[in-house]
Structure 1
Amino acid sequence: MVARRGFHSTRAQMGSPYHYPEGPRNNLPFNPMTKFFAFRYWTFMGVGFAAPFAVAYWQTNKNQG
């Protein structure tokens, strides 16, 4: 006979409504509540997007000598 597996129908109880006891945004490696967060974020995203195009341009136009 095959043994029945004991699946639970109730979810695990959490002591806090958040995943971390310290609260929301605590598990992020940066602080989104700082004054210049939006500027730093979009600068990082812009450089990350432009870097492959800049490298490709540099590689195609560098000296062949």
Structure 2
Amino acid sequence: MKDYGNRVTCLCPFHFDNKSSVVVFKESNIFNCSACNIKYNYYDFIKEIEGISDTKKIMEIANNI
């Protein structure tokens, strides 16, 4: 992982990666992988990584407030 101020680059957790193909933009919390051609906001990234549905995640977030 490398920090460039307003963005961070790292390996993609969704495919085998041997070079940093992911850019995370800090201000907008956008995750963008040039190899997978996917673009997630923070909420969608967490849903995909955790493998959970919208309803379940909403309930989790609500219970933590």
Which TM-score applies when normalising by structure 2? 0.29
Using CA pairs below 8 Å that are at least 6 residues apart, which structure has the higher relative contact order? 2
More strand by share: 2
- Computing the radius of gyration from Cα coordinates, the structure with the larger value is 1
Which TM-score applies when normalising by structure 1? 0.29
More helix by share: 1
